[in-house]
Amino acid sequence: MTRIALFGATGFIGAACAAALADAGHEVLPRPARRLWADNETLTQAPQRAYRPHLAGLAAELDGVGAVVNAAGVAISAARMSPGLVGGNAAWPRLLADACQQAGVSRFVHVSTAAVQGRTDRLDESLRYAPVTPYARSKTLGEQLLRDTTAGGRVEVTLYRPPSVHGPGRRMTTAFAAFCQRWPLVTCGDGDQPVPVALIGNVGATVAAILAADSVPLVVSHPYEGHTVRTLYETFAPGRPLRPLPTRAVRRLLRAAEPTGQWLPPLSAVCRRAELLLFGQGQQRGWLDARGFRLPLGQSAWDEVAAATRGRPHYR
């Protein structure tokens, strides 16, 4: 049994991590995240200036802890770039890593996002970045700052990258279910393009699997859950037809929206979600696949989530 400090334990992903870690026999200690404000320039040049006053107190909270999991952050894909976004997704995880070093905590798992690789053809476990939205750029900066902390070797840092996470009660899942019922289901190609999505229970189980391993690489991607554009639509809108769109025309339309999306983040976020459902995105087999890890929840759990959200009102 390991005493694990879990930051963001009351959030959507944090609650799933807490349950999975407790089921694995760990003692889970919920801890509150600090609210930080920072800018890119300060974090890049002198990161500790953004959080130095919090460091000693946070390190004291980690006394006697064997590992730390960070599931806290600003999880708003359509957010504008702001000191709060950068503080929550970049300054905060770096502060936590530095606190781990001071407290002598040897393991630190940071829940990042596959969005840091944006439009790359295939998601992988490299440090290649192609963020599209301000949210993804702030998470990318957080990863880069944590990568820098690994040079000393005193803390084993793991950057865990789940894709779009679905589950009961999540607004994004309810919104997607409503979309599937109200609008024509369209894609480019035949709909058999792989699409990276994750079920919330599988995310918690993956974090537990990472902490169960003796040695873990810097980046761990969430295992592919087997969905294609077609199967995802069929799960949330069974029986509805899938209509093909002309690929070239759709790409031109999305490219035309890019300049506006640079200063209008909600449009950029919507376009990125559309790209995933129109074109899909491949994924390389990762470290967990090589270890033989199998996700505990499969299609039947996806069907349960879809059934629970079907007909539920969607509030903006």
pLDDT digits (tens, 9 = 90+) for 240-285: 999 999 999 999 998 899 888 888 888 888 999 999 999 999 999 9
Which tens digit of pLDDT belongs to each residue from 190-239?
999 999 999 999 999 999 999 999 999 999 999 999 999 999 999 999 99
Beta pairing, strands 107-111 & 67-70: parallel
Please check whether residue 38 lies inside any domain of the structure.
Answer: yes
Q: How many domains does the chain have?
A: 1
Asked whether residue 81 is assigned to any structural domain, the reply reads: yes
Query: In which band, very low, low, confident or very high, does the pLDDT at 1 lie, cut at 50, 70 and 90?
Result: low
Mean predicted confidence (pLDDT) in 292-307: 96
Q: Would residue 141 count as lying in a domain?
A: yes
Evaluate whether residue 247 is within a structural domain. no
**Quick one: pLDDT band at residue 45, thresholds 50, 70, 90?**
confident
| Average predicted confidence (pLDDT) for the chain | 92
89-130: pLDDT as tens digits: 999 999 999 999 999 999 999 999 999 999 898 999 999 999
Does any domain span residue 51? yes
What's the confidence (pLDDT) of residue 44? 78
Whole-number pLDDT of residue 152: 65
Nearest to 58 by CA among 2, 103, 10, 94: 103
Assess if residue 136 is contained within a domain. yes
- Is 303 a domain residue? no
pTM: 0.94
**Pairing status of strand 156-161 against strand 185-188:** unpaired
More confidently predicted of 41 and 233: 233
Q: Is 127 domain-assigned? A: yes
CATH number at residue 27: 3.40.50.720
pLDDT at 316: 40
Give CA–CA dist 21/24, Å, rounded. Answer: 5
pLDDT at 312 over 60: no
What per-residue confidence (pLDDT) applies to 78?
Answer: 83
What is the mean pLDDT of the segment spanning 25-34? 96
pLDDT of res. 154: 79
**Residue 273 one-letter amino acid:** R
The two structure tokens encoding residue 25:
């026999």
Cβ pair 9, 31 in contact under 8 A: yes
Structural domain range at position 116:
3-170+195-224+282-296
Backbone angles phi, psi at 109, to 5 degrees: -110, 120
Whether the per-residue pLDDT at 26 is higher than 60: the answer is yes
Q: Residue 39, Cα to own-chain centre: how many angstroms?
A: 21
On the 0-12 / 13-18 / 19+ scale of CB atoms within 10 A, 290 is exposed
